[in-house]
Structure 1
């Protein structure tokens, strides 16, 4: 029977969600201990220590803690399980995880670990991080920052309000995007290098992306009138925006994103650095229950 260590983000409501799943795990005979992360870096440390003891690590929270825990476990062989309890839960959505506690508990107890890709990011300061969903640079990173600061809105509503605020003050940026050594120029709103197809609480930014194909889908959204961009935003729910001429999709293993002015980039629901950034896929580096 599996032995679990749950690393919980208390600010995302993780404790309440875990409270519904934990009795089901224990009733089946599984061992479960709980650790509370005091931040994303601390959550990663807790995950590594638990993995070194041979335990299955559960990331309980949203995309931030899933990315911090998954990044810390990338390449270690430790098995990761997700208990979605955050604002967006986009990586869990990409894995098609069940929402019902009983179904999720059964998956965690009996599921077979499967390899997924992770993404290594290298910043301008040569800082390194490993994330799960990918990286996005431009107006969507600003929208993410505004959503994270929202107090009265949650989920899709917070991201949509953040996007309205970000687009209202946006001016086109000039991007240089290098995909496996080939340079592409784009002037517009954003560049996304996606491992997961989802971001922004369920928006299908890269509908063709797969978490286990060893590739990143690179989505470039060129400049367009704001009214057209808002129409494109609505199409993100179904992923049909990729058919517009303003949108270009590339694929590759290593992507460098640069811009003609300082722009923020985000990953796994967190925004904290500025371009340039290099994203490199790490094929099959993480074992996940899904």
Structure 2
């Protein structure tokens, strides 16, 4: 493995923490003897092109510095290759880093963990989801050649409508924008007719508030919507929140942070290698990023990426 590694930086992550975090992370890696090259794109598309160029050029590792969006972008470059992924998590959510046992909002420690993993040659092979328009080619696992990799959760329903509305609002700013979006969507809450197909089974027609497809357990900064999802079993945990009132949703919602919502009678969980979600007027969000309108098909792909994680202590 080459001693040159690539820092993949989102300077805007965490209100500027991304740019600040790159320096202590790079210092820890250089202290460990690695040559560090930094890649910053003009936008997401340009950044991904640069990251893929680094991977194809044989970089020793791709280190994403930022939040879940940056980690997800890095996954698009390393999935299916021999190049390991490191994550310096300094964003708002950091769900992927938490799920893989990496330090959060401690860039110097994250840099040390990554350096130790590289020197020891260890890391964790993880499954990823691949999602794309339903009816894609068999060669791409049913999710189409232009499918997107995701590490945490594919969201649809109430939560994706909140994201849609929050992204449209120009005021207020920051998290308050999404708080307002939640209130507006609660006022408009209604059951969504879904058509769900698990693996090669028959389609099921249900009414649901949301459906979340978990490669990992959490999204939105620690909401454990798919509590028991594992990244090494080749299966999704698919959490279905059925039809419920505003009062019930507000009562159950706080339980998501501890993962105790799964015992509520409105919640069911399925496990499957592949799932197709169909519903009118819904956008799917993978790792917090918009994928496109339903219908979408997602498939779990085992061990397709290697993450540089802490070794045994």
Ranges in structure 2 where 5+ consecutive residues have no aligned partner: 137-143
Select which of 14, 33, 39 maps to 2:37.
33
Displacement, 1:34? 0.6
Select which of 152, 156, 163 maps to 2:173.
152
Select which of 217, 224, 230 maps to 1:210.
230
2: CA distance between counterparts of 1:65 and 1:166? 27
Which residue of structure 2 lines up, in the alignment, with residue 181 of structure 1?
200
Alignment of 1:111-126 (within 5 A): 111=117, 112-124=122-134, 126=144
1: CA distance between counterparts of 2:116 and 2:82? 18
Which residue of structure 2 lines up, in the alignment, with residue 245 of structure 1?
265
Whether 1:91 and 2:99 are equivalent positions in the alignment is no
Whether 1:64 and 2:64 are equivalent positions in the alignment is no
Which residue of structure 2 lines up, in the alignment, with residue 192 of structure 1?
212
3-state DSSP class of the match of 1:59?
strand
Over 3 Å counting, the alpha-carbon distance change for 1:238 and 1:110 in structure 2 is same
Displacement, 1:147? 4.6
Whether 1:6 and 2:26 are equivalent positions in the alignment is no
Displacement, 1:92? 1.1
3-state DSSP class of the match of 2:281?
coil
Displacement, 1:202? 0.9
3-state DSSP class of the match of 1:98?
coil
Displacement, 1:188? 1.9
Of 127-136 and 80-89, more deviation after overlay is shown by 127-136
Ranges in structure 1 where 5+ consecutive residues have no aligned partner: none
Alignment of 1:263-282 (within 5 A): 263-282=282-301
3-state DSSP class of the match of 2:257?
coil
Which residue of structure 2 lines up, in the alignment, with residue 289 of structure 1?
308
Preserved contact between residue 90 and residue 107 of structure 2 (Cα < 8 Å): no
3-state DSSP class of the match of 1:236?
helix
Displacement, 1:253? 0.5
Of 168-177 and 41-50, more deviation after overlay is shown by 41-50
1: CA distance between counterparts of 2:90 and 2:29? 17
**For 1:253-280, what per-residue CA distance to the aligned partner results, in whole angstroms no more than 9, with x for missing partners?**
1100011x22111011112511000000
Preserved contact between residue 194 and residue 207 of structure 2 (Cα < 8 Å): yes
Preserved contact between residue 219 and residue 249 of structure 1 (Cα < 8 Å): yes
Of 16-25 and 120-129, more deviation after overlay is shown by 120-129
Over 3 Å counting, the alpha-carbon distance change for 1:160 and 1:97 in structure 2 is farther
Of 84-93 and 94-103, more deviation after overlay is shown by 94-103
Select which of 13, 20, 23 maps to 1:16.
20
2: CA distance between counterparts of 1:174 and 1:200? 24
**For 1:197-218, what per-residue CA distance to the aligned partner results, in whole angstroms no more than 9, with x for missing partners?**
0101110001100111111100
Which residue of structure 1 lines up, in the alignment, with residue 141 of structure 2?
none
TM-score by length of 1: 0.92
**For 1:71-127, what per-residue CA distance to the aligned partner results, in whole angstroms no more than 9, with x for missing partners?**
221101111101112221111121121133342122110112221111111215854
1: CA distance between counterparts of 2:57 and 2:125? 20
Over 3 Å counting, the alpha-carbon distance change for 1:243 and 1:253 in structure 2 is same
More strand by share: 1
Whether 1:109 and 2:128 are equivalent positions in the alignment is no
3-state DSSP class of the match of 2:113?
helix
**For 1:175-211, what per-residue CA distance to the aligned partner results, in whole angstroms no more than 9, with x for missing partners?**
1111112233321211111101010111000110011
Whether 1:51 and 2:55 are equivalent positions in the alignment is yes
